[in-house]
Structure 1
């Protein structure tokens, strides 16, 4: 039934189409090459004593193979040797076996129980991956390492016996297996990432004393995990260790833990209680989406909170932030339970979006040395009524306080130079704006849609005011502009329906497009002698009778370029010049 090339079995000579052929390999054969690869008729094979090696793919895709007898002399099995032997339900590995190649038993979906001899020091990568009926594994004394993804997607695997010699788990070794509880032996010193990721039946994890950091992604998306035991001596929670563990409700970290890694508890939607007494750092997205987090007292030792670390922790109330020295972008975004932000320990820069959408925030205590408030830092803090800026503040970033609809009182500092785009847009409750000397730049839409704003006074230090900076402030009636301004930007006061008169400073040369568009009560305008250019729609939809005062001669005003589109009211206005009065 076989052909041999000296001591190597080259191929099986069975060529019939009937299923049920049994093959006994004759004595004298030492190596089995890919002899049975893809056979569809062989169901049983007996190998003689003396065989030492099964080459790669030796029995791969032998779909109907159900019985295999291996000799005690076998020392090596090649990669993919039994790949997709889908009916092979039992195999006894000899005690002398020293090496098994990667993927050796991959997708042996009928294999239910396996004992691995201690002579096998290391289990190769993907060795039993996809063995979906494998429920029990025994590792005998001597085995030291389990390779990457060795048992991954062995979805029925729920029982395993580890030897005292075991020291290492490879990446994803038990990914998507069926364990309900898992204990890492104390002898294990090395664990790769994603060890138990996707183990949706896992409810309990006990970490071993041989480690000091919870492995990255160890229980990532283990959605039933509810109990985690971390022994003393651990110094950190690794990256994504418990990412998406949606059943985890409480956790106590030993005092030895100083750091929580990025995304460690991301999406733990039932996590309500965390105890950690000696933390110094919390990483990026560490608790992002932990929407039930309520009881977590930040210890006085904590200094650093990473980007989006507590993003969306809506019910977490009034953590003590006073001891923090570094906070990342959007670190507390959407933390609706924060009412007081004492950030006096921070440095000169406040990160972007750090308290955005904190809808209960009513008090901010800034650090004395703060110079920059980053983009969107307090966006949509709808309960914030007042704010006082520290003396060294230079820049308020774009959208910093946009949507702070209750903000009515602002304590400006003398050192401020720049107000960013949309910085105070939609500040519905702000009634008066009197900026301090020193402000040079107000960027576009800075105070747009401030519905209650009545008066604006800009100091003479202001040089630039961006497009639409005060647009759609319908109650604004009094404006004092800076003498240093040389241009009124596009749509600067568009939609300010109560603005009845305006005096444009002497240095202004250009009035931008739509600058006063829709100022329907604007009836009195004083133009400067410096004016050279009026863009389209600058005075569109203003009062039907517009009176314009000009300090120069009619000839000087006529020398200025006025675009006709949308400026018919200006062109037909009642004009007062230094030399005469009348219609243009």
Structure 2
């Protein structure tokens, strides 16, 4: 009986194996059943590809027909399959219906050739790393293996010498950096609705003459269309908000621009050198226009009025003050309809003494009055919401600054080095005083902060030698107002103090407030405290414990960084925002179950779902157990931690950038099967890392993921990995052996500086490789399983290296090799 049962099991296993290993036949038929193509021996799991001419269907009396695709939708082969051509009908006009029959024209849109692309699986979707075909017209596939294709990765088509036309489907959300850069023949681009962002240099140097951007697009990256000298017209979509710096620099044929009403930012030098531009319509809602945005637009004629040049739209010709006609007058009066000043407008104008700002002005732009050394007074209208970075930096004669009631934001260094400024009242709408805002204001004596302030940089008032602080009995410095003198703790009186108490009534601890207190062992915060600033206790190496009071509702990034001796971390039980559940010695956001700060005695409770940015940065522990409830580990969560080994559970599906960056003691890592991508700098600088266990789930090793892992001698790349990206293993000076398995794309300098790597086999699967082995001093033999150079192969990194190409048959030209007992051997 047992033997019979075992025999049945064996037979079933054999049948299953045979079924799994079987090849299948794929048949392609026209609408009328005509067989167009038969593909035999198609492997299970492959995506079939039709290689014939596009099917056609004759016109009838009422309709023309255009091929639209196949039924069912093309997908992975699981058995014999037949695909039937489908067509869209196009109704004829009455005149056409009565005219003689016309010959049908074949559809000119090519069926996507999946083999011409390198796809990278990132979980729910794919992105395209490279195009390796040579077609002049390319339709980018919207799907691959039943998943959407959602991004074009950096340099996917860059420097393609033959590409003339491309269609980007609605599935694509991101067009990455340099994707079409240098495609000198690319003259036609169709972008369907769906694309949301376009990165730097995306179409730089192409032959585009016109382009229509989809309504879904919200941002255009830096230099996106730089040097598109033939680009005459562009239609912007309705959702566009940001045009980054130099986006259209040097588009000398561009004649007219109409921006949508949602545009908020026009970056620095955005239209620099657009010499044919004669008109531009700028919406009234724009918030920022960068310096030199229209420099060199010699055909553009701004509206001139009262010594100023303005650009705008049909309803308001004065939206942006873009230039000054004559910089010698001492006064300037702005048009009341002006909304924005171009960045740096009056910078270094030493003649300007007084200015009258318009009553509808929304922002004092970045560096607007930087270096105006004669400007003595400024009064901001209530309409101004923002004072930009360095707006009044170096206005050494500015004695009076009146801020309007509508002010909401003051940016870095806004009033830096205003030597004569004696006092300042911050309006109630302002919540933050950032880095360097009033630094080096040597005459500043009085500052009044509003009660609703939530963030102050301790460097905001750096070198304000005349400033009067409120002080507690220990001499610690505070700023506030007449109703609460102790509103914000700025800095301690004694940097060498071992014990410190913050005054009751204090609501805010400034950024970096205690960062120089190297001897601080105990600190007491009052219940009045609501905000603890960024890096507030950073570097308090001897601090033993901390209790977070009940009313604290915000704790800034790296607030406990380098608190190396802290052993007890507790949140008050009645705090509604944070907790330290289960005596975990960590701070957890209640609403999100995210652990935001930990110390060397921390444990991670089972309900925590995320580990936040910098949560364990610099923390000293050998290891820590990450529970299976955690799904996300954010940027730099363990960077520079003194950790020796770590295991990432299968539940984790998302790693941020630099999670273990510069963990110099890290020796061993085990990665769970939930991870698809090792993001950039994941283990960069882990100089003692020797053991890395990766599952077959990983498909993409991103930029510098193992950069400078100088103790790493060998690593097994899972067969699931498709892409090893730029500089991924650069500087791995001990690396002697690496198995590239089924990798399809190897990025620029991926193994540069691997100075002990003596030989390497590049598998036949590699379709795309860019200068990967530069400065590999002892790499003398590169064995390529391919019979010809992969796409992107360049000799400029291979001048002293010998590449051998695979040949099964004997070829003694000293350029070919084969396997002998599993070892690569040159034919001799």
TM-score, with structure 2 as normaliser: 0.35
Between Structure 1 and Structure 2, whose CA radius of gyration is higher? 1
Select the structure that is richer in strand.
2
Q: Which fold has the larger relative contact order, with Cα–Cα distance below 8 Å and residues 6 or more apart in sequence? A: 1
TM-score, with structure 1 as normaliser: 0.48
